[in-house]
Amino acid sequence: MTSTFAFATGLVASVLVIWLLGRYAAFRAQRPEDYAESGPSFDIRNRLNGDMVCEGVIYGPTGRVSSRFFADMTVTWTGNVGVMKEKFQYDSGAIQDREWRLTVANDGSIQAAAPDVIGVGAGRESGPTVLLNYRIKLPESSGGHVLDTTDWMYVTPNGSIINRSQFRKFGIKVAELVATLRAKEAA
């Protein structure tokens, strides 16, 4: 009985340590205030504006690349409301269109909606970063799963944007996306 108790205690302690590290020392532990004073303002209305290109990869749950993509994007703003139209081309030959509606409040908070987003995503600009959290429903061809998404964008000194997103189901990371975004003229 003692060895079973010791094993169970060790197992619970290990799971707790892994959870604590994931919650407070990993990707999802970042907070907008961590970046508030670390560089020029992102200002999504200026950085995501006009014709843009996006290139990236999607990693599966084992960390291997599961897909590569390219996207043409057009972003237009009327005041604090923006429309971002994306046309993705995947290495499989699949094409995907998405249209985001973005609303930026004067305090830097952001609301984001798209047809495959459940409800409304919420986020914030802070220093040279933007954070968005939302739930996305994958196409039926990809299983139709609903995933919790943490999406960070970081502006680089030359104005390009690095996008890193993690997708989770039941709290377990099932995919990650890393991409660059930049004005089409600079591509």
The structural domains of the chain, with segments of one domain joined by +, span: 1-30, 32-186
pTM: 0.81
pLDDT confidence of residue 186? 53
| Contact between residue 126 and residue 39 where contact means Cβ atoms under 8 Å apart | no
Q: How confident is the model at residue 7 (pLDDT cuts 50, 70, 90)?
A: confident
Which one is predicted more confidently, 19 or 114? Answer: 114
Fold of 32-186: Lipocalin (2.40.128)
Q: How confident is the model at residue 22 (pLDDT cuts 50, 70, 90)?
A: low
Q: What is the pLDDT of residues 58-107, one digit of tens each?
A: 999 999 999 999 999 999 999 999 999 999 999 999 999 999 999 999 99
Average pLDDT for residues 165-183, to the nearest whole number? 95
Q: What is the pLDDT of residues 135-172, one digit of tens each?
A: 999 888 878 899 999 999 999 988 899 999 999 999 89
| Contact between residue 69 and residue 91 where contact means Cβ atoms under 8 Å apart | yes
Give the sign of the dihedral formed by CA 62, CA 133, CA 178, CA 51. positive
Average pLDDT for residues 123-143, to the nearest whole number? 91
Q: How confident is the model at residue 1 (pLDDT cuts 50, 70, 90)?
A: low
CA gap 151, 137 in Å, rounded: 15
pLDDT confidence of residue 98? 95
Q: How confident is the model at residue 25 (pLDDT cuts 50, 70, 90)?
A: low
